[in-house]
Amino acid sequence: MSRLRINKIGVLSSAKIQGATCFVLGLIIGVIYGAFIILYSLIGASLVGGDAKMAVGGGGVVIGVIVMIAFPIFYGIMGFVFGALGAFLYNIFARMIGGIEMEVENI
C-alpha cells in the first residue's frame, strides 16, 4: 500500500463538479415539489367546488412549473459557488496543516 496526500484541489474543477451535482439534485427536488404543488392546486380547487380553470388561473400550475425550472438553476449556481469556496478554503488549510492523507493499493 502506498500513501497519498491531496495538497491542492482545482477550484474551477471542483466548482464545476459540485455545480453539476447540485443541478441534478435540484432537478429531482424541483420536479417532486413542482408536481406536488400542481397536484395540490388542482385537487384542492376541485374539492372546494371550484374547477381546474381556477387552479391554473390562480397560479398553482404556474408556480409548480416555475419551481421545476428555478430549483435546478438555483441549486446549480449555489453548488458552483460553494464548490469553489470549499476548494479555495481547502487549499488554504492544506498549506497550513497538511492535506488529506489516503492509502491506496495497486491491484
pLDDT digits (tens, 9 = 90+) for 40-87: 887 766 665 555 555 555 677 889 999 999 999 999 999 999 999 999
**25: helix, strand or coil:** helix
Q: What is the pTM of this model?
A: 0.80
The residue segments making up the domain with residue 33 are: 24-97
- Give a yes or no: residue 48 inside a domain: yes
- Give a yes or no: residue 74 inside a domain: yes
- Give a yes or no: residue 4 inside a domain: no
Residue 1 vs residue 79, higher pLDDT: 79
What are the C-alpha distances in Å from 28 to residues 41, 65, 69, 94?
Answer: 20, 13, 11, 34
- How many domains are there within the chain? 1
